Amino acid sequence: MKTPSFVETLYPLRTGRRTPVTGLSSDVLSQSARRLGILAALYAFVFFMSDPLLAILFSEERARFLSSPIRWAPSTIAIAMALLVVVLTWSRGIAVKTVLSWGLAFEVAASFGIAAAQFLDASRYTAEPPWAGLSWVAVWMSSFTVLIPSPPRRALAAALASAAAVPLTVGFVMAADLTPLQITPFRFFVQLVLPYLLVVLIAYVGARVVYNLGAELNRARELGSYLLVERLGEGGMGEVWRARHRILARPAAIKLMRPEVLGGSAMERESLSLRFEREAQATASMRSPHTIELYDFGIADDGTFYYVMEFLDGFDLQVLIDQFGPIPSERAVYLLTQICHSLGEAHAEGLIHRDIKPANVYVCRHGREPDFIKVLDFGLVKSQHNAVGGELTLTMDHSLHGTPAFMAPEQVLGDRPLDGRSDIYAVGCLAYWLVTGHLVFSGRTPMEIMVQHTQTKPVPPSLRTELAISRAFDDLIMACLEKNPDHRPPTAEILAARLATVETTNKWTQQNAQKWWDVHHPRQSRVA
């Protein structure tokens, strides 16, 4: 039996292979629930504008509106019902599927509310029947089935029940002798039943199309054994998705770059694709526990490149400082030492990261160990040696790669070959960020920042924070920020050893870390 290729799994409609419809994904259902709340709010607003607002503004309309429950009850009940649905869609304690099931009941009840408001008042029955033509019920039914996708059978049942609103309401008025108008059974069917049956047919077809599109999207998110669940972000290198394995319980993150994302010329597309492949190869070659672990990677027949990596329970150092402020020296030393372990292995293999920055370093829970560092995004990695088949780097001459706020002077100037000491400079910038909450240099433009890295002496971090920073730690950070690479710690291993000798007021222990994570990022938050 032939195993489906990656592209056949990713694009089943294009290859002719079809897998069973698995339903709508969780994010599509969540979007449907949000749209249900918006639709219910709009329904309540329209009803309020039609009758109650006039009764509030004009005394003669108020007298007519309050003269009989037949006039005020439909609007009042319909508005209250719609507002209740809005509240339900906002509630986080109710499952999305339950909300959408109640949404179908709301579709039916709302149709009866429209029919009651239009046809229950017998004073509106004159020589010209008020039911001539389709009512707003038809518009409501069609809109609901398209905006709020449901399994086709359930959508059909709700549409049939909604379509019965007008015939039943008009039939009740006539049966109760509330109007002198009479109509033969055949004319009743042709004018009041058949048109709404046609609307039901249209609504059902629309429901099938919308639902199947959602199901196709769900199937298109399957990458081999993984199902894409939620897009976490996108950038110059592609998209990152949270994913789950269809058999194993292990969560994962998938980074992919589709051909249409590349754009540009054929040479530019090939360069970006090779850069993406290089990132996967560089990451896969690492064995340090502090480097993001790669599970799998490959290229589809259509050129889509993807790789599967471990899913991290935490946040990057950019988010850490933005949300919680600068961290004490003892914790910074603890985190920086782990970064050095990852970079030490990379440098030993002749690889330079070239883009060490807060967004590329994750602090997370790793099993039962909190405050565990993971270095990721080796997309700008450069080899100090010649790889088989040529230089591993894909950069062009005189081109700049990296993040201006964390670029070493030699990286900006391009006046000397890069080595691991360029990453050491970036680690110094990162240490500065952790203990002060400020960048080493700031400016109006990236070029202004890069010029400062090459010419301006930085202010010691101890002068830019109220937190206690020892003289040894202050001097070590400033040593990492030396303009001349020869004056910096020569290797990541030596930097880690010097970090171990830094005296701090307190020690950062696993108990301290566990308490911090229990307060600021409890495990229950992963469920959301």
Backbone angles phi, psi at 507, to 5 degrees: -105, 140
Residue 337 sits in a domain whose CATH number is 1.10.510.10
355 is an active site residue: yes
160 pLDDT above the threshold of 80: yes
Residue 237 sits in a domain whose CATH number is 3.30.200.20
Helices 136-147 and 26-50 meet at what angle, rounded to 10?
160
% of the chain at pLDDT higher than 70: 80
Per-residue pLDDT, averaged over 170-174, amounts to 81
pLDDT band at 181 (very low <50, low <70, confident <90, very high): low
Per-residue pLDDT tens over the stretch 40-66: 899 889 888 887 887 888 887 788 778
Question: How does strand 361-366 pair with strand 369-375?
Answer: antiparallel
pLDDT at 527: 34
Tally of domains within the chain: 3
Distance (Å, whole) CA 382 – CA 394:
8
Clarify whether residues 88 and 201 are in a common domain.
yes
Clarify whether residues 210 and 231 are in a common domain.
no
pLDDT band at 7 (very low <50, low <70, confident <90, very high): very low
Per-residue pLDDT tens over the stretch 225-264: 777 778 887 765 577 888 888 777 778 888 877 665 555 6
437 pLDDT above the threshold of 90: yes
In a domain, 2, yes or no: no
Clarify whether residues 32 and 137 are in a common domain.
yes
Clarify whether residues 516 and 369 are in a common domain.
yes
Clarify whether residues 293 and 318 are in a common domain.
no
% of the chain at pLDDT higher than 90: 32
Question: How does strand 226-235 pair with strand 294-299?
Answer: unpaired
Distance (Å, whole) CA 317 – CA 4:
40
In a domain, 13, yes or no: no
Clarify whether residues 270 and 191 are in a common domain.
no
Among the listed residues 424, 422, 429, the one whose alpha carbon sits nearest the alpha carbon of residue 408:
422
Q: Output the CA angle 163-167-171, nearest 5 degrees.
A: 155
Per-residue pLDDT tens over the stretch 92-125: 778 888 888 888 898 999 889 888 888 877 666 6
From the candidates 313, 316, 355, 371, which is the catalytic residue? Answer: 355
Per-residue pLDDT tens over the stretch 137-152: 888 888 888 888 888 8
pLDDT band at 13 (very low <50, low <70, confident <90, very high): very low
Q: Three-state SS for 448?
A: helix
First-residue to last-residue Cα distance in the chain: 39
- The alpha carbon torsion through 188, 193, 194, 199 (nearest 10 deg) reads 150
Distance (Å, whole) CA 243 – CA 308:
9
Per-residue pLDDT tens over the stretch 348-403: 888 888 899 999 999 999 988 999 999 987 755 555 554 333 333 333 334 456 78
Q: Three-state SS for 148?
A: coil
Distance (Å, whole) CA 438 – CA 51:
58
**Domain extent for 455:** 314-526
Ramachandran class of 250: left when φ > 0, alpha when ψ lies in -120 to 50, beta otherwise: beta
Distance (Å, whole) CA 61 – CA 318:
60
* Beta-bridge partner residues of 391: 386
Clarify whether residues 466 and 339 are in a common domain.
yes
Q: CA 181 → CA 129, 133, 137, distances in Å?
A: 8, 16, 22
Domain boundary among 196, 220, 244: 220
> Which position has the higher pLDDT, 440 or 16?
440
Assess contact for 449 and 443: CB atoms under 8 A: yes
Choose the most confident range, by mean pLDDT, from 18-32, 255-269, 421-435: 421-435
pLDDT at 222: 60
Clarify whether residues 241 and 320 are in a common domain.
no
Assess contact for 104 and 150: CB atoms under 8 A: yes
Q: Which of 191-205, 317-331, 406-420, 471-485 is the least confident region?
A: 191-205
Structure tokens at 87: 């509240």
Distance (Å, whole) CA 356 – CA 150:
46
Question: The pTM is what?
Answer: 0.60
12 pLDDT above the threshold of 70: no
Distance (Å, whole) CA 212 – CA 18:
12
> Which position has the higher pLDDT, 215 or 113?
113
Burial 170-200 (b: 16+ CB within 10 A, else e): bbebbeeeebebebeeeebeebbbebbeebb
Distance (Å, whole) CA 20 – CA 215:
9
Per-residue H/E/C for 257-317: ECHHHHCCCHHHHHHHHHHHHHHHHHHHCCCCCCECCEEEEEECCCCCEEEEEECCEEEEH
pLDDT at 387: 38
Helices 471-480 and 420-436 meet at what angle, rounded to 10?
140
Other C-beta atoms closer than 10 Å to the C-beta of 150 total 23
Domain boundary among 311, 342, 364: 311
Assess contact for 146 and 208: CB atoms under 8 A: no
Clarify whether residues 263 and 330 are in a common domain.
no
Domain boundary among 186, 220, 254: 220
Clarify whether residues 306 and 318 are in a common domain.
no
